[in-house]
Amino acid sequence: MTTTLRFFLFITRLLIVLCITIVSNGDCLYSQEKEEEGDDEQEQLWNVSSGGHFYSRYTSYGIELSENKSAASIESEISHQSGIRAGVEAFAVTGTNGGYEHSSIHGGYEYSFSSLFRLNGVYTYHSYRTDSLNVLAGISNELSIAGTLTLGKFALTAAFTTFFGGGNASYGTLGASTQIAIGKLSITPTVQLSIASQTVDETLLPKNKGQGQGNSKKPTAASVITTTTISGVSNVTASAAFRYPIGKGFTASLVPAYVYSPTDLAITTSQLILTIGIEHSIDF
């Protein structure tokens, strides 16, 4: 494990200790509030949310997952008030030579210690059109654990994600966000920093396969596979999510984002990305 990643894990543990300390002081009040809410009305236990999105580019941790092209997705998730949730997603590249690119299925659990702090874990299984599309395409399994501390209108998040099965990669993320309401319009500015540690086949690096080609040849059994470990800042992202309810459970969203990705894992070091979406949510 690299020094950078050890430092990140230390900061994450420190944040969790701080969260638990604050949570212990607010637990009784939170429990009382929940009891009062339960007396006032009968809560609906289930929620189903679905949506479709268009991405000028689709990235994760600063890594291009859409071959440096625009992409579209559909997704659906069901969740229960107890904290369990499960969902599916499918992505396709749009434009010339577009088509199916990637799909995933996930399941997770979220636990709220109090109104101040919640912890969630999510397992995701990924399937790509081919495992040479990008540096994450050959790794099927993803496990992520994240803690969120809410202080007034601000939320601080620390997460650790590991990819395994066909390769290995670890990413640590720190994020901060707030919410602004203007009438029915909600705006969520967010800043995020991710740190990567990944051992990768050098033929899959963008600089060795060409931007957006997605067609590097996988080494044969007789070939010598040369790997390299890339560690350090994976991406710094600043975004603002604009969401507006348009009636009958539907919401329109617009998310402009600036992504800075200084590692060899990314195709583009600096880029502006726009995401447009329509989402629907129903409780029952």
Q: Per residue in 54-98, pLDDT tens?
A: 999 999 998 888 888 999 999 999 999 999 999 999 999 998 888
Domain assignment present for 20: yes
Q: Which of 21-25, 127-131, 261-265 has the lowest mean pLDDT?
A: 21-25
The answer to whether the beta carbons of residues 274 and 255 sit under 8 Å apart is yes
Q: Domain holding 218: CATH number?
A: 2.40.160.40
What sign does the dihedral 105-256-190-82 (CA atoms) show? negative
Q: How many domains does the chain have?
A: 1
Distance CA 236, CA 192 (A): 6
Distance CA 18, CA 148 (A): 11
Distance CA 130, CA 138 (A): 8
Q: What is the domain extent for residue 220?
A: 3-39+49-283
List residues bridging with 174 in a β-sheet.
158, 193
Domain assignment present for 44: no
| Residue 57 token pair | 């580019």
pLDDT tens digits along 184-231: 999 999 999 999 999 988 888 888 875 444 444 455 554 567 889 999
Residue of 134, 273, 127, 97 lying closest to 210 (CA atoms):
134
